[in-house]
Amino acid sequence: MRPALANRLTPYMFLAPAAVIMAIALLYPLGYMIWGSFRDWSPSQTIGEAEFVGFKNYITLWNDPNFRESLGVTLKFAFFVVTFEMIIGVGLALLLDRDLRGMSLLRTLFILPMMIAPVVVGLMWRYMYHPTVGTYNRLLDWLGLPTVDWLGQHALMSIIIADIWQWTPFIFILSLAALQSLPRSALEAARIDGATGWQQIIHIKLPLMMPVLIVTALLRLIDAFKVLEVILVMTEGGPGLSTEILALRISRTATEFRELGVAAAMSNYLLILLLGLTVAMFAFNRLQEIRAARVRAAVEEDE
């Protein structure tokens, strides 16, 4: 082969494996799912044998009270999880942003919950929430307080607490990184002007961190729709439908009820929801860049 031709082909050769794998294992399945969502499809059939039913699966789902409840649970879960995690995570970052010895050890310990398998996190919390054996009820009992039916009546709250435990460190670490890259001069100036700690936080730190915080929150929101294993192990979606988030319902529709078409349609609803969020995030990023560029231009004009 002539060297010039080899050079021209190199990038394609480097890129080809990744492109092929993503095409057959991500794009093709997604298209397959959209196609399958218009069919009455059971696991024993191939997709060609399944009957075409148009939008029936989508309409059935839309009118299905169970699906709506599951959607409601998912939205509630995502909302509370992200809200509490942002408040606690950012709060801790503001509090711990100082020269501490052992800060890196602290961060190491904090990321531990995120690295452990969701299945294991689920089983730890299922043990701790156990009505008689569990740590919490034993503690309450020891203190002479009435015990709480964690995974029964308060199941949704309990899974929210477990998720907060697992993912607050993510927010904490990202906002700490954002805090430590803030321009020193602005903070210095504020301190010289006599701003109190609270004033510094509200008027300087938080506004400067805001872009990173919003991206972090959106990332966490997208991830909150993916949580499945922790809930599966802790409650299996019960009692009733009280903790059956959409991801769990999709997997149950596919494996237990054996209705692949309906499960595919449900997956599509979830995907559309997440697509909306992602587009919002992109739009926000773009807006931020445009604003930054405009500020830069204005500064240059002044000079």
Question: In the range 177-196, which residues lie near other proteins by CB under 8 A?
Answer: 177-178, 187
What's the one-letter identity of residue 227? V
Question: In the range 42-71, which residues lie near other proteins by CB under 8 A?
Answer: 43, 46-47
DSSP states of 210-244:
HHHHHHHHHHHHHHHTT--HHHHHHTTT-STTTT-
**From 5, 17, 54, 146, residue interacting with other proteins (rule: CB under 8 A):** 17
**82 near other proteins, judged by CB under 8 A:** no
Q: Which of 217, 132, 235, 105 is nearest to 167 (CA)?
A: 217
Hey, what are 24's tokens?
A: 């057959």
**From 87, 119, 202, 280, residue interacting with other proteins (rule: CB under 8 A):** 119
**202 near other proteins, judged by CB under 8 A:** no
Question: In the range 140-179, which residues lie near other proteins by CB under 8 A?
Answer: 165, 169-170, 173-174, 177-178
**225 near other proteins, judged by CB under 8 A:** yes
Q: State the minimum distance, in angstroms, from the CB of residue 239 to other proteins.
A: 15
CA diameter of the chain? 84
Q: State the minimum distance, in angstroms, from the CB of residue 145 to other proteins.
A: 16
Q: State the minimum distance, in angstroms, from the CB of residue 300 to other proteins.
A: 24
Q: State the minimum distance, in angstroms, from the CB of residue 59 to other proteins.
A: 19
- How far is 108 from 112, CA to CA, in rounded Å? 7
**111 near other proteins, judged by CB under 8 A:** yes
DSSP states of 6-50:
HHHHHHHHHHHHHHHHHIIIIIHHHHHHHHHTTEE--TTS-TTTS
Q: Encode 71-92: b = buried (16+ Cβ within 10 Å), e = exposed.
A: bebbeebbebbbebbbeebbeb
- How far is 238 from 261, CA to CA, in rounded Å? 24
Q: State the minimum distance, in angstroms, from the CB of residue 80 to other proteins.
A: 19
8 Å CB contact between 232 and 248? yes
Only one residue has tokens 């969020």, namely: 277
**Residue range at the interface with other proteins (CB under 8 A); choices 76-84, 153-161, 253-261, 294-302:** 253-261
**From 1, 4, 5, 18, residue interacting with other proteins (rule: CB under 8 A):** 18
**32 near other proteins, judged by CB under 8 A:** yes
Taking residue 61's Cβ as centre, other Cβ atoms within 10 Å add up to 21
Tell me whether residue 193 or residue 303 sits nearer to other proteins (CB atom): 193
**From 76, 127, 239, 240, residue interacting with other proteins (rule: CB under 8 A):** 127
Q: State the minimum distance, in angstroms, from the CB of residue 108 to other proteins.
A: 4
Q: State the minimum distance, in angstroms, from the CB of residue 210 to other proteins.
A: 13
**241 near other proteins, judged by CB under 8 A:** no
What's the one-letter identity of residue 160? I
**From 53, 75, 96, 206, residue interacting with other proteins (rule: CB under 8 A):** 96
